[in-house]
């Protein structure tokens, strides 16, 4: 398996950020939303996409 140094760098940064918040997902998201708000770029929130449940019939087509 190939190890991509760029992917590893991103994973390290993500891990360090999560550690700052004791891996609390709510706190991590709150911090990221705050950073988005203060970044100075327009942010567009899109509505969530609904995922349709696969049926066995869908798998046979």
Q: Express each pLDDT in 25-50 by its tens digit.
A: 999 999 999 999 999 998 888 898 88
Angle (CA) 10 27 14, round 5°: 5
- Identify the sign of the CA torsion 14, 17, 22, 24: negative
Tell me, yes or no, whether 25 lies in a domain.
yes
Identify the pLDDT of residue 56.
59
d(C-alpha 12, C-alpha 23), whole Å: 14
Tell me, yes or no, whether 47 lies in a domain.
no
Q: What domain count does the chain have?
A: 1
Tell me, yes or no, whether 33 lies in a domain.
yes
- Quickly list H helices, the chain: 5-20, 25-38, 56-59
Q: Provide the domain limits for residue 33.
A: 15-41
pLDDT category at 52 given cuts 50, 70, 90 is confident
Smallest Cα–Cα separation from 13: which of 30, 26, 32?
32
pLDDT category at 58 given cuts 50, 70, 90 is low
Tell me, yes or no, whether 2 lies in a domain.
no
Tell me, yes or no, whether 34 lies in a domain.
yes
Tell me, yes or no, whether 24 lies in a domain.
yes
**Once rounded to an integer, what is the mean pLDDT over residues 46-55?**
83
The mean pLDDT value of the chain amounts to: 89
Tell me, yes or no, whether 46 lies in a domain.
no
Identify the pLDDT of residue 55.
65
């Amino acid at each position: 398996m190939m190890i991509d140094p760029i992917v590893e760098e991103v994973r390290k940064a993500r891990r360090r950020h999560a550690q700052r918040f004791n891996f609390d997902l709510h706190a991590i998201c709150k911090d990221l939303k705050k950073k988005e708000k203060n970044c100075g770029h327009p942010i567009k929130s899109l509505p969530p996409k609904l995922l349709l449940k696969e049926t066995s019939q869908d798998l046979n087509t």
